[in-house]
Structure 1
Amino acid sequence: MSYADNLFIQMCRDIIETGTDTRGEKVRPVWEDGTPAYTIKKFGVVNRYDLAKEFPALTLRRTAIKSCTDELLWIWQRKSNNIQDLNSHIWDSWADETGSIGKAYGYQMQKKHMYKEGLFDQVDRVIYDLKHNPYSRRILTNLYVHEDLHEMHLYPCAYSMTFNVTKEAGQEKLTLNGILNQRSNDVLAANNWNVCQYSILLHMLAQVCDMQVGEFVHVIADAHIYDRHVPMIEELIQREPFPAPRLWLNPEIKDFYDFTREDVKLLDYQTHPQITEIPVAI
């Protein structure tokens, strides 16, 4: 059965059974009707996925792989902060009348910085180092730029990706591993969405840098289940997982900037019915 499903079930049970409740506290998020959006939360959740063994898409319900790929490419490839460049509507609540979400996400990715080798934005610097200095311990991105926070319509949740390359015994190719640091994670709405996104990113970068994928580590400071999501989570984790799907990534793509959402597919992806009409706190 799917490792990702079992890990998700254990995490959710741990949050519900041993987490702390924010009811009655002063909280920022609200529901659309203005009611405070309280959570049950756990501090410091760390989940590890071996991408060489399986792709960690949930089978308890379907993760929309093309939509989450599109958002990933919106940030990392198109380096956009405007929802008009995004095919879904997940960012609509945080966009202004021009479609901008402020100096967040893609805006930070496209800013160029000076290095001894010249000017690079954060994505190009990662690719350069993976190709030219793979054993560097300094290959990372950071979206949490304090001087720009006041001009971001939402502070970055998944804010830092650290890449680390290893040489596995008996393997010709180097292995690309990654750690995603996330300050806040809505477990029902976004947990597996983020896991799939950054697992796909590792697969993409490994392919264009002639590496193989290794471990993806997801570090969450505040993993929470919203009060109105608890019944949905309880239903979800009662389901029996199916076998994990297989990831297909277009093998013809050798340049990261050539990937599209159509170059990513999940094969043999059997899932339980989707949970619909999930309320989103803003």
Structure 2
Amino acid sequence: MNMTIDSDTRNRTETASHYEQQYLDLMRHIWTQGAKRVDRTGVGTRAVFGASMRFSLEDNQIPLLTTKRVYWKTATREMLWFLTGDTNIRELVKQGVHIWTDWPLDSYCRETGEDVDRDVFEQRIIDEPDFAEKWGDLGPVYGKQWVDWPVYEPAGEGFYTRRDKGINQIAKLIEGIKNNPGSRRHIFEGWNVAELDQMALPPCHKTYQFFVSDGKLSGLLYQRSCDLGLGFAFNVYSAALLIRMIAQQCDLEPGELVWNGGDVHLYLNHAELVEEQLSRKPKGAPKLDILRKPPSIFDYTIEDFEVTDYAPQKHISAPVAV
């Protein structure tokens, strides 16, 4: 017996199986059933505690959201910046990356009493190295912990001194994956308790673990705090990108990304974003190609990455809660 599947049924089936649908389902659940909470920013959120999603990275798949545009080059530049260990926004803003500017700008305005806009502040960061050194540093965030975790050594009579060079967790991770792929200790961490109060923002995507099986590398990200409306789009792409880079450096194929969130929330002032995004249907299957294999994970450049088959729906803007 011949059966004909009408186009509406086919579209519903494709939507339900699309990798982004799990994200939209979580967004809808939080917006309609999440607990209303007071948060650090004072804006307020709806939130759930504990969520998980899985994304295949095989065949160059990359979990870019399709229901709104994600600026993947900006996220890639941020990841490459993390891997340098730099903590000053100057190199980012020189590349037109603004995602970290709000925190030092807010600090500058509060401490000086001046009311300057972002463009003026960023131009001074670029033009004036001394100004950038004083006002552009974020403290020991992300990349600093990843590639230069501090080590203290006894200096006599109960005193300790900080070693000039800390632990490069990323380098050790790759060495461990290459030499002992079955280990359960393929982890790097950003949550340095001793330095949290020195950071502009304690790490949200804080713990990464990796797993090798059948010649494939999979990664798990635990994110203690997730702004599902804005931050998640970058977080999930960046985690997948990092897995792809590490897999290439270790001569492995990419497996999957497992994303775990602790406090997963939507800000109350993001109603327009949430409602607009939930009205859209995911579609398409973007691919990420890495165009060369550099000598190390620290030698990639933005020109090494190419995203194809990505045709997202238009960008949805929303305010960042600082």
**TM-score, normalised with respect to structure 1:** 0.88
Unaligned runs of at least 5 residues, structure 2: 1-13, 108-133, 152-165
Total equivalences in the alignment: 262
- Ranges of 4+ aligned residues in structure 1 off by more than 4 Å: none
CA distance in 1, matches of 2:172, 2:103: 29
Aligned match of 2:200: 153
Aligned match of 2:79: 72
Aligned match of 2:211: 164
Q: CA RMSD in A?
A: 1.9
Unaligned runs of at least 5 residues, structure 1: 30-35, 168-173
| Higher helix proportion | 2
Q: Does 1:8 align with 2:23?
A: yes
CA distance in 1, matches of 2:28, 2:149: 43
The answer as to whether partners of 2:226 and 2:264 remain within 8 angstroms in 1 is yes
Structure 2 counterpart of 1:122, one-letter code: Q
Aligned match of 1:177: 218
Aligned match of 1:279: 319
Q: Secondary structure at the match of 1:184?
A: strand
Q: Does 1:101 align with 2:138?
A: yes
Q: Secondary structure at the match of 1:89?
A: coil
Q: Does 1:110 align with 2:147?
A: yes
CA distance in 2, matches of 1:127, 1:153: 28
Q: Following TM superposition, by how much is the alpha carbon of 1:113 offset from its aligned partner in structure 2, in angstroms?
A: 7.0
Deviations 1:60-104 (A, max 9, x none): 0111111101111111x2111111122311111223634111122
Q: Following TM superposition, by how much is the alpha carbon of 1:254 offset from its aligned partner in structure 2, in angstroms?
A: 4.7
The answer as to whether partners of 2:219 and 2:257 remain within 8 angstroms in 1 is yes
Structure 1 counterpart of 2:239, one-letter code: Y
Q: Following TM superposition, by how much is the alpha carbon of 1:228 offset from its aligned partner in structure 2, in angstroms?
A: 1.0
The answer as to whether partners of 2:248 and 2:293 remain within 8 angstroms in 1 is no
**TM-score, normalised with respect to structure 2:** 0.77
1:73-222, aligned counterparts within 5 Å?
73-75=80-82, 77-86=83-92, 87=95, 88-95=97-104, 97-111=134-148, 120-167=167-214, 174-222=215-263
Q: Secondary structure at the match of 2:282?
A: coil
Larger radius of gyration: 2
Q: Secondary structure at the match of 1:188?
A: coil
Instruction: Percent identity, please.
Output: 32
Structure 2 counterpart of 1:151, one-letter code: Q
**Segment of structure 1 superposing worse, 6-15 or 88-97:** 88-97
